[in-house]
Structure formats: C-alpha cells, structure tokens
C-alpha cells in the first residue's frame, strides 16, 4: 500500500529514519539526496549501479532494486569507508550538508569501475553542488582513486598499487616542487579501497528477480501490419 506520490527520499528520512541522505532543493538540482540504486541486468548477467537523486525517485519505481544509502557503506561509529575517509582527510567537507551526496556519487562510480579516470570522476560528481568547501579539496582527495595512462604503449605509471599511479600524487608533487606549498593531505594515510569487500547484491532480491522475469509480459504485434504497433496485445512470455 505505497502512496504513489511518495519519493524515495521521503521514505528514507520519514519512515526509516535514515537522515544521512539530505533534503536540499527537492528538485534534482543539488545532489544532496544522492543514493545508489543497484539493479540486476538479465541480458548481461551483471549488476549495474546508479547514483540517483532520491528526491525525484518515486518509491513505486524501485521494484526489485537495491538501495544503498550513506549509512550503509560506513560510519564513524563502525568504520569509515575509504570514500568517506578520503573526503574528510583531504578537507573536502565543511558544513557537511553536501558530503553524503558526494560520497554516494563517488561510491557508485567505484562500484561500477574501481579504477576510474579523472574524466569519469568529474562526470559522476557533476550533479553534486557544494556551497562552502569549494571543489578543489574534494576533487584532490578523490583524485587518489583515479589512474592515468601515460605512454603510447598504453602502460600505466608504476609508482602505485597494481601498477598504477594516482594522478593526485603526481600533481601534488609537481605543485609542491614549484611553490613549496604544504600539501592538502598525506595520501599514504588513506586506507586502500578494496572492491572485494563491498556489500553484495541481496540474494533474496536476486531470486525474486528471477521469479519476476519468468512471469513478465511483453508487447507483441499480433496483426503484423501496423507500423506503430497500435493493434498489440499482451502475451505471456512463459
Ligand atoms: S534534494 Fe537537491 S537533488 Fe535532491
Ligand atoms: S560542505 Fe557545505 S555545502 Fe559542501
């Protein structure tokens, strides 16, 4: 009996008391309400993770979708996730209102690709606004998750884990060498990100999904002459 007008954000904050997901503009403009939605793709047998504005997502649209909020990836009381820790240690959070949304956008990116490029990082964070910190410390901190390919052979630099070197370290050294400026953070203090330790897609949801797909409906053109499929009927696929 879900109210068809209820959004995911209202449900999380009012019904579940999960207030880590923030309400800012309520119209998809600020990204403070970002959560991660995970859906199983039957055609590719893979999971896809999306950073979504919960203020715009109707609760009824989330059938067989797993929702991950900022509380679900880590906390000060338990243990911070590297995405949460790095934004804090790189001074990327002041009032903190935008921070859960930025954390979840970055987390969704890492769940899809544990070694993203700087371009994809900027793209994933483009829907998140921050009014007080400024974007430099946020991007600098998260730059440590990214990798860059440097030579024509396609080899990565080799001064980091997994034969990859973070763009952040490289630029930090360059800036320090030029100006003698104090770096924003010491990347050596950061906990490594281990994609194998992330929460898995709920197995119960997976079995519900398989049952649902077996009994789903599709449009079939039964007369075969109508180009716009006006004379269609439902047919059971199984
Ligand atoms: S509250 Fe601003 S995008 Fe949802
Ligand atoms: S830390 Fe205040 S809005 Fe981003």
Domain with residue 154: its CATH number is 1.10.150.120
Structural domain containing residue 18: 8-193
The neighbouring-strand residues paired with 41 are 46
The pTM assigned to this predicted structure is 0.79
User: Is residue 201 in some structural domain?
Assistant: no
| From 105, 133, 134, 139, mutation site for ligand 2 pocket: most ligand atoms within 8 A of C-beta | 133
Average pLDDT on 111-132 reads: 95
State how many domains the chain has: 1
Answer yes or no: is the C-beta of 28 below 6 A from any ligand 1 atom: yes
According to DSSP, the residues that pair with 183 across neighbouring strands are none
Residue 2 lies in a domain: no
In contact, 156 and 165? CB cutoff 8 Å: yes
Let me know if 121 is exposed, middle or buried by CB neighbors in 10 A (0-12, 13-18, 19+): buried
Measured CA distances, 79 to 32, 83, 161 (Å): 22, 11, 23
Q: Is the pLDDT of residue 203 over 50?
A: yes
Q: Alpha-carbon dihedral of residues 181, 183, 188, 189, nearest 10 degrees?
A: 140
The answer to the question of residue 154 being in a domain is yes
Per-residue pLDDT at 36 exceeds 80: yes
Tell whether 213 is covered by a domain: no
H or E element, residue 107: helix 99-112
pLDDT digits (tens, 9 = 90+) for 39-88: 988 888 889 999 999 999 999 999 999 999 999 999 999 999 999 999 99
Per-residue pLDDT band for 217 (boundaries 50, 70, 90) equals low
Mean pLDDT score across all residues of the chain = 82
Contacts of 94 (CB under 8 A, 6+ apart): 132, 133
Number of Cβ atoms within 10 Å of the Cβ of 8: 25
- Distance between alpha carbon 82 and the CA centroid of its chain, in Å? 14
What pLDDT does 210 receive? 73
Least confident of 11-20, 79-88, 89-98, 144-153: 144-153
Question: Does residue 91 come out as left (phi exceeding 0), alpha (psi in the -120 to 50 range) or beta?
Answer: left
Residue 19 CA, ligand 1 centroid: distance in Å:
14
Is 19 inside a domain boundary? yes
Q: Determine whether the shortest distance from the Cβ of 35 to ligand 1 is under 6 A.
A: no
Cβ–ligand 2 distance for 131 under 6 Å, the answer yes
Q: Cβ-count burial of 177 within 10 angstroms (0-12 exposed, 13-18 middle, 19+ buried)?
A: exposed
Q: Per residue in 146-199, pLDDT tens? A: 986 444 443 444 334 433 445 555 555 555 555 566 788 889 889 999 999 998
The preferred substitution site among 10, 12, 30, 58 for testing ligand 1, maximizing ligand atoms within 8 Å of CB, is: 30
DSSP codes joined into one string, 161-195: GGG--BHHHHHHHHHHHHH-PPPS--GGGSPPP-G
Q: Give the distance (Å) from ligand 2 centre to CA of residue 185.
A: 19
Residue 209 falls within a domain, yes or no? no
Helix or strand (DSSP H, E) at 108 = helix 99-112
* Nearest atom of ligand 1 to the alpha carbon of 28: 3
* pLDDT score at 128: 97
Residue nearest to atom 4 of ligand 2 (CA): 130
Tokens of 121: 């990082």
pLDDT score recorded for residue 114: 95
Q: What is the pLDDT of residue 117?
A: 95
208 pLDDT higher than 90: no
- 203 assigned to some structural domain: no
Cα–Cα dist 29/129, whole Å: 8
Helix (H, G, I), strand (E, B) or coil at 70: helix
Asked if residue 60 has its Cβ within 6 Å of ligand 2, the reply is no
Helix (H) or strand (E) holding 209: helix 203-214
From the CA of 31, the nearest ligand is 1
Closest listed ligand to the CA of 30: 1
Residue 216 lies in a domain: no
């Amino acid at each position: 009996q879900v109210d068809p007008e209820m959004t995911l954000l209202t449900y999380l904050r009012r019904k579940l008391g999960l207030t880590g997901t923030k309400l800012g503009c309520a119209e998809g403009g600020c990204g403070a309400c970002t959560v991660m939605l995970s859906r199983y793709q039957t055609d590719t047998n893979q999971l896809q993770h999306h950073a979504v504005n919960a203020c715009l997502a109707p609760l009824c649209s989330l059938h067989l979708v797993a929702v991950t909020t900022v509380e679900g990836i880590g906390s000060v009381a338990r243990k911070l996730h590297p995405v949460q820790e790095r934004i804090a240690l790189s001074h990327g959070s002041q009032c903190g209102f935008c921070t859960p949304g930025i954390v979840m956008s970055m987390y969704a990116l890492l769940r899809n690709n544990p070694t993203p490029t700087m371009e994809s990082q900027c793209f994933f964070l483009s829907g998140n606004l921050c009014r007080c910190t400024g974007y430099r410390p946020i991007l600098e901190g998260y730059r440590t998750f990214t990798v860059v390919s440097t030579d024509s052979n396609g080899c990565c630099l080799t001064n980091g884990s997994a034969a990859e070197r973070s763009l952040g370290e490289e630029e930090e050294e360059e800036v320090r060498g030029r100006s003698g400026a104090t770096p924003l953070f010491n990347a050596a203090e950061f906990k490594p990100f281990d994609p194998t330790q992330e929460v898995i897609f709920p197995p119960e949801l997976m079995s519900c999904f398989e049952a649902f797909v077996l009994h789903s409906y599709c449009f079939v053109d039964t007369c075969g002459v109508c180009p716009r499929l006006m004379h269609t009927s439902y047919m059971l696929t199984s």
